Chain A
Amino acid sequence: MPMADVERGPDAGKHQPPSLDEFSKRLDAVRGDPEATKPPRASVGPALGRAMRVASELLAALLVGTLLGWGLDRLTHLEPLFLLLGMLFGFASGVLNLYRAMRAENKAPPASG
């Protein structure tokens, strides 16, 4: 149905003054078909993006946790207590980040490969 509309489109515009109502109807018809508006999916790109996301989420949290622990150690002179705690908590929040990232991606299927 939308295909026919698209093919008729340019000709219809030439013969008659384009009515706005009719134009927006045609526009809606084309837009209403999700398959027509969806860009073709590449397989390598999104997968690569996801891999990078996984790596950076996990590493960034571990880094922040470790650095916080190291800083607290320097402040309190309780070496290596906070460093170890920071690494543990950092890893835990990395996993939490990952869980959130993956859950967000599953909610929005077009973003994933």
Chain B
Amino acid sequence: MSGLIGMLKAAGPMEQFEIVPIVPFGIGGVDLSFTNSSLWMMIAAGAIFLFFFAATRGRALIPGRIQSAAEVLHEFMANLVRDTIGHDGMKFFPYVFTLFVFILVMNFFGLIPSIPGVAHEYHTFTPTSHLIVTLALAMLTIGIVIVYGFAKNGLKFFKLFAPSGLPLWLMPLLVPIEVISFLSRPISLAVRLFANMFAGHIILKLFAGFVVSLIGAGGVFAALGIAPFAGAVAVTMLEFLVAALQAYVFAILTCIYLADAAHAADH
């Protein structure tokens, strides 16, 4: 395993996922450094803030370009939340909207090429390509589902695992299956987003690396470099799609799980 990682590192595609501390800091042996991952999360949050600040500054009746963009985004997510959770689910709109926009912008910003020549810690970085980041977001979602589920349904929340009308002899079979299914939600949520971003960036880097090595080989090989170059262009376009799609999938699944928690007692 470590041999494989070493090989990949030598070839380059793993280097983009390296966490580099910018401001080293720690309390009692716990590393709390401000890293390139933190930096790009802050850049994403700052960009979102600036965008919505600019978009809502005018508040025109007939919106301009930037206000339209913000309104389309808002309406899109509002419809999603309303359709999946229902009208009383609109209290979760701020959370789902924030989650969607934050993941979307982190995914998109990760596709910006690094400025050549800058230090490693300032290279473009995709925080969502790290499992711990996506797992933290997924755990937050499931935490809200559990807290809200118990607050709304009390102990009837457990009906999520044992629907009423279920014969008693089926209980030992179905309840573990439902419990495992519930526990697997944060894992599948986190792994999906992480795997998509991680794999996409590796493929992109590999294609780009082929172009450089082929041109470096010179002669006929340099001409052959056009093939991986075309591949890199195609993968870049695909990655834009994946970035938006995965943010959307994360948001819609959050909505579905919240709807489950809201209606657990009705089963």
Cα of A94 to Cα of B178 in the assembled complex, Å: 10
**Nearest neighbor of B194 in chain A, beta-carbon distance:** A56
User: Which of chain B's residues have a CB closer than 8 A to the CB of A84?
Assistant: none
* CB pair B245 A49 closer than 8 Å: yes
Cα of A97 to Cα of B177 in the assembled complex, Å: 10
* CB pair A42 B177 closer than 8 Å: no
User: Which of chain A's residues have a CB closer than 8 A to the CB of B188?
Assistant: 56-57, 59-61, 97
Contact residue among B62, B184, B246 (Cβ-Cβ distance under 8 Å from A49): B246
Q: A68 contacts the other chain (Cβ, under 8 Å)? A: yes
Chain B min CB distance to A73 (Å): 15
* CB pair A52 B192 closer than 8 Å: yes
User: Which of chain A's residues have a CB closer than 8 A to the CB of B54?
Assistant: none
Chain B min CB distance to A27 (Å): 11
User: Which of chain A's residues have a CB closer than 8 A to the CB of B242?
Assistant: 45, 48-49
User: Which of chain A's residues have a CB closer than 8 A to the CB of B11?
Assistant: none
Q: B256 contacts the other chain (Cβ, under 8 Å)? A: yes
Chain B min CB distance to A75 (Å): 16
**Nearest neighbor of B186 in chain A, beta-carbon distance:** A60
* CB pair A93 B192 closer than 8 Å: no
Q: A104 contacts the other chain (Cβ, under 8 Å)? A: yes
User: Which of chain A's residues have a CB closer than 8 A to the CB of B183?
Assistant: 64, 68
* CB pair B245 A45 closer than 8 Å: yes
User: Which of chain A's residues have a CB closer than 8 A to the CB of B62?
Assistant: 18
Q: Size band of the A side of the interface?
A: 20 to 34
Count of chain A to chain B residue pairs whose CB atoms are closer than 8 Å in the complex: 70
User: Which of chain B's residues have a CB closer than 8 A to the CB of A57?
Assistant: 184, 188
User: Which of chain B's residues have a CB closer than 8 A to the CB of A93?
Assistant: 176-178, 180-181, 184
Q: B241 contacts the other chain (Cβ, under 8 Å)? A: yes
User: Which of chain B's residues have a CB closer than 8 A to the CB of A64?
Assistant: 180, 183-184, 187
Cα of A56 to Cα of B196 in the assembled complex, Å: 11
Cα of A86 to Cα of B53 in the assembled complex, Å: 50
Q: A80 contacts the other chain (Cβ, under 8 Å)? A: no
B window 171-205: CB within 8 A of A: 176-178, 180-181, 183-185, 187-188, 191-192, 195-196
Q: B132 contacts the other chain (Cβ, under 8 Å)? A: no
A window 45-71: CB within 8 A of B: 45-46, 48-49, 52-53, 56-57, 59-61, 63-65, 68
Q: A81 contacts the other chain (Cβ, under 8 Å)? A: no
* CB pair B180 A90 closer than 8 Å: yes
Known: A45-B245, A46-B245, A53-B192. Contact between A104 and B256, CB under 8 A? yes
Q: A3 contacts the other chain (Cβ, under 8 Å)? A: no
A window 1-57: CB within 8 A of B: 18, 42, 44-46, 48-49, 52-53, 56-57
Which 10 pairs of residues, A with B, have the shortest CB-CB distance? A60-B188, A93-B181, A60-B187, A61-B184, A93-B180, A60-B184, A56-B192, A56-B188, A64-B184, A93-B177
Q: Give the interface of A toward B (CB within 8 A).
A: 18, 42, 44-46, 48-49, 52-53, 56-57, 59-61, 63-65, 68, 86, 89-90, 92-94, 96-97, 104, 111
